[in-house]
Structure 1
Amino acid sequence: MSGAADLTKETEQTGERTDTPMLELRDLRVFYGAIEALKGINVKVYEGEVVALLGANGAGKSTTLRTASGMLSPRDGQVLFHGERIDGIKSHDLVRFGIGHVPEGRRVFPRMTVRENLEMGAYRFKAPDPDDMDRVFTLFPRLSERRTQLGGTLSGGEQQMLAIGRALMGKPELLLLDEPSMGLAPLIVRQIFDILEEINKQGTTVLLVEQNASQALQLADRGYVLETGSVAMADEASALLADPRVRAAYLGEGAA
């Protein structure tokens, strides 16, 4: 097979768990007008995991995250967090449930300083927790060095760090990340993924959308491959990384 269009047969995930997922997307259908962007997908994320969503442009990856975080409402299906339905709850309220979303494009506040951007991430609390601020500055020393600098004057990599740090200020149980490596130099990408690994080790569950399939699957425990709004494959990350169809479609290798 050659290319994402050949990944059409859904594979069953091995070692299916019986405990309640932290996040479950159940038979989710999402439309943009008359266009069906998600066609009944099923995705599960368990506490402590890193789960990667892979797929070509237009496959529905960002739509999946935006629906999980309340930015979009599904026409059919359910979004469950710790077994409770949350579809229909607005995104700013879902932050209070413990869901943080780092959108594609970073979207920092350009006329606010680094510290002010981080403080905005803690808006659900009466005041930012100094320990959370210290944690962000420990994870991202470069932000500590630039704490009084305006967000709009940071480099792309620094803005990505700031966007992640801002989400962490909300004390999320689950962090949704949309294309954190987009437009960044390889060295910065490596640094970002090292930090994401540390964030996960510290107890934050991660659902990651990423075009860099190799980096994503090396970090992840499990992965899903989306194709035109459907789940084409679901497996352990190591199995997906070794699958010749995935390697041909997303790693630029010839199909076996």
Structure 2
Amino acid sequence: MSTTAQLREESGEAGTPDAPLLELRGMRVFYGAIEALKGIDLTVGKGEIVALLGSNGAGKTTTLRTVSGMLQPRHGEVLLRGERIDGIKSHELVRFGIGHVPEGRRVFATMTVLENLEMGAYKFSSVDSGDLDRAFTLFPRLAERRSQQAGTLSGGEQQMLAIGRALMGRPELLLLDEPSMGLAPLIVQQIFEIIKEINDQGTTVLLVEQNATQALGLADRGYVLETGSVAMSGPAGDLLADSRIRAAYLGEGAA
């Protein structure tokens, strides 16, 4: 990316007019000799929730890790607001408006809830009390446990903390990797309600999720990955009604 483009991103100005917020073009990613992503194309429009579905090993987490700079594509492009961002280091992409909540939550176990949230605001010169207030309003349980070590929280509370930490960076695009994994159904419902609220507040979401019913019930559009390729894509309602999706992910026989 050019210096001009970097300055434009850092100043908050738009990139290419009318470009999708996020676009992947022909993206191929390898782990050694193994091709994990086989030339996928994907777009996420500003304000959308887009679900990325697929079985284990389909390439969902690899896709998010590539968008956030943790992996580099061997071929293809990653564009944010029409400007290429592949090749930019992961910690620098936070300044471009990308927040990533990884699979497994990855909170700092020996740090308090408050310290974890403050770490999410590292791109700013100081922590904004308004950002903390937002996190505590979205997740009142975190406010109650602000002085508690993160490692002592329940799985659901740690997921709330991981999302809250990402929001402290004020992302325009939030990448969520399996937010429902290992959580009780009631907590899963709460997490998905909060994701909807975050989106309603203006944050675009790319959601990796194996719970197809929950994900497609929340999303505007969806993509289905199979062994590193896009097998299906379309409006979330159409995918949810598709007999192949219902057979593969909802345990129903294909019509």
Give the match's secondary structure for 1:28. Answer: strand
Q: What whole-Å deviation, never above 9, does each CA across 1:99-157 have from its counterpart, x for those lacking one? A: 00000000000010000000000000011110010000000000011000000000000
Aligned residue in 2 for 1:93: 92
Alignment of 1:209-248 (within 5 A): 209-248=208-247
CA distance in 1, matches of 2:192, 2:131: 20
CA distance in 2, matches of 1:43, 1:80: 10
Instruction: Give, in whole Å, the separation in 2 of the partners of 1:176 and 1:23.
Output: 11
Amino acid of the residue matched to residue 109 of structure 1? F
What's the TM-score once normalised by structure 2's chain length?
0.93
Alpha-carbon offset, residue 19 of structure 1 = 3.5
**Equivalent residue of 2:193, what SS?**
helix
Structure 2 SS opposite 1:56: coil
Read off the aligned partner of 2:89 and give its amino acid letter: K
Which AA in structure 2 matches 1:105?
Answer: G
Match of residue 10 from structure 1: none
Q: Tell me how large the CA RMSD over aligned residues is.
A: 0.8
Unaligned runs of 5+ in 2: 1-16
Please give the secondary structure, in 1, of the residue aligned with 2:50: strand
Deviating above 3 A after TM superposition, structure 1's stretches of 4 or more consecutive aligned residues are: none
Alignment partner of 1:134: what SS?
Answer: helix
Specify the alignment match of 2:174 in structure 1. Answer: 175
Q: Secondary structure at the match of 2:143?
A: helix
The one-letter code sitting in structure 2 at the alignment partner of 1:49 is E
SS at match of 2:137: helix
Aligned to 1:186: 185
How far residue 20 of structure 1 moved from its aligned partner, in angstroms, is 1.1
TM (norm. structure 1) is 0.93
Question: Where do 1:195-206 residues align within 5 Å?
Answer: 195-206=194-205
What are the residue-to-residue correspondences of 1:42-121 with 2, within 5 Å? Answer: 42-121=41-120
Q: CA deviation at 1:249?
A: 0.3
Say whether 1:130 aligns with 2:129: yes
Q: Deviations over 1:176-209 (max 9, x none)?
A: 0000000000000000000000000000000000
In structure 1, runs of 5+ residues without a counterpart are 1-17
Tell me what 1:35 maps to: 34
Identity, % of aligned pairs?
A: 79
Whether 1:254 and 2:253 are equivalent positions in the alignment is yes
Q: Could you tell me how far 1:91 is from its partner in structure 2? A: 0.5
Which residue pairs with 2:8 in the alignment? none
Residue type of the alignment partner of 1:78: E
The one-letter code matched in structure 2 to 1:173 is: E
1:143 and 2:139 aligned: no
The aligned counterpart of 1:152 is 151
Which residue matches 2:7?
none
Counterparts of 2:147 and 2:251, CA distance in 1 = 42
Q: Distance in 2 between matches of 1:177 and 1:126?
A: 26
DSSP-derived class of the 1:108 partner: coil
Number of residue pairs aligned between Structure 1 and Structure 2: 239
Q: Please give the alpha-carbon distance, in whole angstroms, between the structure 1 residues aligned to 2:253 and 2:128.
A: 50
| Other structure's SS at 2:251 match | coil
1:77 Cα offset (Å): 0.0
In 2: Cα distance, 1:82 partner to 1:129 partner: 26
In the alignment, the residues of structure 2 paired with residue 125 and residue 19 of structure 1 have an alpha-carbon distance, to the nearest angstrom, of 28
1:8 aligns with none
CA distance in 2, matches of 1:109, 1:158: 13
Report what 2:12 is aligned to.
none
**Greater relative contact order: 1 or 2 (C-alpha under 8 angstroms, separation 6 or more)?**
1
Q: Show CA shifts across 1:220-256 (max 9, x none).
A: 0000000000000010000000000000001111110
The amino acid that maps onto 1:142 is R
